Amino acid sequence: MLSLRAELSMMVIRCMFFLLSVFLMSGCKSAEDYLSEGQDLSSEGNTKEAISLFEKAIQKNPFLKDAYIQLGQCLENLNQHDSALRIYMKLLQLYPDNTAAYYYSGICKYSQQKYHEAIALFDKAIDTKGGFNSADTTSIQALLDLSKDNFESESVETDIPTRDILYDRGMAYYKSGQLKSAFCDFTNCIIQKYNTGPSHYMIGLCRRSKATRATAH
d(CA 75, CA 131): 29
Entry pTM: 0.79
Report the distance separating Cα 142 and Cα 162, nearest Å.
11
From first CA to last CA, the distance across the chain in angstroms is 101
Asked if pLDDT for residue 156 goes beyond 50, the answer is no
Residue 18's pLDDT band (boundaries 50, 70, 90)? low
pLDDT single digits (tens) 55-73: 999 999 999 999 999 999 9
Q: What was the pLDDT predicted at 123?
A: 96
How large is the average pLDDT for residues 166-175?
97
Within the chain, where are the H helices? 4-27, 31-43, 47-60, 65-77, 81-94, 99-111, 115-127, 140-147, 162-175, 179-191, 196-216
Q: Which residue has the higher pLDDT, 19 or 131?
A: 131
Q: How far is CA 19 from the centre of its chain?
A: 37
- At 112, is the secondary structure helix, strand, or coil? coil
Model pLDDT, residue 217: 62
